[in-house]
Amino acid sequence: MKRPARVRILGKPYKVEFVPIEHIGLRDNAEDPDPGMGRTSPENQEIFVRTGQPLESEQDTVLHEIIHAVDETLGLQMNEYQVTVLATGLLAALKDNPGLRTYLCAKKL
């Protein structure tokens, strides 16, 4: 399995970087005392994910940050709790239904 280096979100290419915790807060929001597991910078089209997490947590963080990018781009104004539970729920649905991604990405039946 390979970590994504880039993802497209609403037609825009985002760079995805896996970095140590000390780089999470400094890159995007230096005044935040709790850097969390990841950060999204829609204006720079960058996502930063904290290294050292177990795989499932890392995957959840990547999806969480993608949802933040969608939220900010579309102006949905979701709160952190909504983003967190949505990411966890979507990841669980995708993992529990391996053919779902193929179906959702199909151009025709």
CA–CA distance from 56 to each of 49, 63, 78, 88 (Å)?
13, 11, 23, 10
pTM comes to 0.88
Name residue, tokens 């960058």: 46
- Where are the domains positioned within the chain? 6-105
The one-letter code for the residue type at 52 is G
Tens place of pLDDT per residue across the chain (109 aa)? 899 999 999 999 999 999 998 877 644 444 444 568 999 999 999 999 999 999 999 999 999 999 999 999 999 999 999 999 999 999 999 999 999 999 999 999 8
Q: Are 78 and 97 in contact (CB under 8 A)?
A: no
Please name the fold of domain 6-105. Answer: Zincin-like (3.30.2010)
